[in-house]
Amino acid sequence: MSQAIASKPFKRLLLTGAGGRLGSVKPASKILLASILFASTAAVAQSVPDMWSPLSATSKQIRFTLPPMGWSSWNTFGRHVNEDLIKKTADAMVSSGLRDAGYIYIDIDDGWMKGREHDGTIKADPDKFPSGMKALADYVHSKGLKLGLYTTNYTVTCAGRKGGGLVGSLGHEFQDAAAMAAWGIDLLKFDNCDGSAESFYAMRAALDAIEKKSGKKIYLNLHYVTRPDAFPHTPDSWAATRLGDSARIARDISRKWETVEHLIDDARVLAPAYIQPGFVADMDSFEVGHAELSPDEARTHVSVWAVMSAPFMAGNDLTKMDRETQALLTNPEVIAIDQDPLGFGASEVGLRPGQQARTHMLAKPLASSGSRAVALVNQGDQAANLTVKFADLGLAEGLVLVRDVWTHKDLGRMKDSFSTELPPHGTMLVTVAGQEPALSGLVELSSVHWAHAAFNRIDTSPYTSNIAIDAAPPAAHTDVKAVPISTALTVNASLAVPVADRKMSIAGKSYARGFGILGAPTQIAYRLDRKCSEFTADIGADDTGNPAGAVNFEVWGDGRKLYDSGMMQPGDEAKRINVNVSQVAMLRLIVNGQNGGMLDDLIHRSGGQSAFDTADWAAPQLHCTKP
C-alpha cells in the first residue's frame, strides 16, 4: 500500500473484516467468499487510489454497455421489504411481460439488512428474509431475472439513522461486496448517506477484485454525479463516471409532478455530457402507476428518461399494475430509444432563453445512420407549439420521415422542419430518419454541424461550468452561462454568442479555428459512416484557466477508445494527434476533468465539472474519401 493511501482512512476501510470467521455464510457460499476475502485483500489494498491522487483516464472500463432495466422497491414500499414481496414481484415481472420487454433487475433498496455477525459479516434481516439472500437470489435467477441490493458509504443506511440495525458498508466495503457476490447479487446500489467519499473508491476496488478472482461482474450504481461543493461526501463528478456504471444526478423522485419536472431540468443541464461509453445518468426509478401524475405527465416522464438513455426501473407495485401502466412501461419503440447501442443522452436543440424555460426539444442520434430520437417537451401549464428544424439535428437537406413512437404511426416525410401542439405537461416522442451530411476530402470540423454535442451547463456554484462553443468558426472563449446547441443562437441575460476576437491559446500559441471549451465534461460527435480515414487536431488545456485545472482528451469510435491524452493542464505544450478512424461509424470527442495539477494543489479537489477545466480542440480536421 502506498504511503499516500496509508495516510488516509483507506487502511481501515480496506482491511476491516479480512480475517474474520465465515460461520454466518451458508456452506455452499463459503468457498467463494473465503477465496475472495483472503486471496484478494492485498491486491485490493494496492489497487485503490487515494481520494486526492490522480485517477488515470485509462482506468475507465466499459463493464456494461446499456442502461439497466428492472424494478426497485423504494418508491412503493420504502424500507418495508421482505422475501414474500420480492418473490411475488419476480413472478409478476414474468407474467406481466416486463421481463420479456427487457426488465430483468429486481433491486431491493434500503431495509433488507439487520446488523452484522460477530465477524463483521452483514446479515439479511431473518424475520424479513428467513430463507436468506442466497436462496432468494436463486429463486430470482430461476425466473430469468437478476437481483440487486442496497448499501451506503456510512456506518448506517439513510433510513438506518433512526435505528433498526440498518447497517451501511463504511469500513466493510470489501467484506460486504464479497458476501453479496457469494449470495449471487447482480447489482449494487451504493448510496451517499453522508459517510466517506473514499468509501466509493473502496467499493469499486472490491468489486473489481471479485470480478478478477471469480468472474462475477456486479453492476454498480452510485449516488451522485453532481457538484463537489454541494455534496462533499461523494467523489468528484468526473470520477464517478469511472467508478460506477451509472450514478444518480439529483434528489429522490416522488409521486408529484414537481419532482419529475425537477429531474427533467437537472437532466437537461447536467446529464448529457456525463453519459459516456460505459456510463449512464440515473434519473431515479419510475413513478408511473404509483404517482399523482396525469396521463400526459406520465408519458413525459417515460419519454424524457428514454431520450436520456436513463435506467428504466419501474417503481410501482407490479402485482397490482393496470393496463395503462403496463403499456407505458413496455412500449417496444420507446424501449428501443432508451436502449439504443450508441447510448447518447439527449442534448437540447434550439435552446430557449433561460435555464428554466418551459418548452424543450431534446434530441440524440440513434444507431441507424440519419436517425434521431426527439422529445418535444412542454413543462408549462398552457398548451404550446413547438417546431424542430432538421438542420438543428445535424441532418442534410432533403425529406425526413417522422414517426410517433407512442402511437406507432408514421407522420409522413417532411422538409426542413416538424411542428406540433403539445398539451400542458405533455411530450411528443418521435424518431426522424433523414440523411447525414456528406463528408468528403479535407473537412474542417469547426465549419460543419455535429451530429451530437453535449456540454455541462451548470451555472449555480463556484465550480461553474461555462461552455463557449459554436458550430460556426471561429469557436472562441467567452464568459457565458450556456450556449444554444442550435444554428440559431439566442441572446439574452442568460445566453450569449461567443466573442469571435478571443482566440484559443495553448502554451502561448494562438489558434483561430476549432472548439474552445470552458468546463469539463463535454463531448462532440460526428457521423462518419466509415467514410473517413484520419482525425487530426492540436489539443491542450487553454491558457485562460485560472487557477489551472486539469483535463484529458479522449477520442472514441463506436464504443472503443482510440486515443487518450492523459492529464493536461495550462502551460503544457499542445499535442498533435493523428487518429485512424477508417472503421469508425460514430466519432466522439470527449473532454473530462482530472485530479491533479495546480488546482488540486490549491483546493484539494479536482476541477471536474468546473470552469477551471479549459480545453481546446484546435484545428480539428477529418480526412475523408472524395465522392
Where in the sequence numbering do the catalytic residues fall? 191, 252
What single string gives the DSSP state of each residue in 508-542?
TEEESSEEEEESS-EEEEEE-TT-EEEEEEEEE--
Chain Cα centroid distance, residue 123: 31
Q: Is 53 helix (H, G, I), strand (E, B) or coil?
A: coil
Local structure of residue 141 (DSSP, 8 states): H
Distances (CA, A) of 456 to 53, 415, 468, 539: 24, 32, 11, 20
Which triple of cell numbers denotes residue 183?
A: 449470495
Main-chain dihedrals φ then ψ at residue 427, nearest 5 degrees? -140, 140
Omega prior to 547 cis, within 30 of 0: yes
Distances (CA, A) of 410 to 55, 319, 328, 434, 440: 48, 34, 19, 14, 32
Alpha carbons 82 and 121: distance in angstroms, whole number? 20
Omega prior to 521 cis, within 30 of 0: yes
What single string gives the DSSP state of each residue in 174-228?
HHHHHHHHHHT--EEEEE-SS--THHHHHHHHHHHHHHHHH----EEEEE--S-T
Place of cell 461555462: 466
Place of cell 459516456: 276
Where would I find the beta strands (DSSP E) of 344-425? 347-348, 359-365, 371-378, 384-389, 399-404, 409-415, 417-422
- Cα–Cα nearest to 418, from 359, 474, 364, 375: 375
Alpha carbons 250 and 510: distance in angstroms, whole number? 39
What single string gives the DSSP state of each residue in 548-612?
---EEEEEEETTEEEEE---B-TTSPPEEEEEE-TT-SEEEEEEEE-S-HHHHHHHSS--SSSTT
Q: Is 430 helix (H, G, I), strand (E, B) or coil?
A: strand
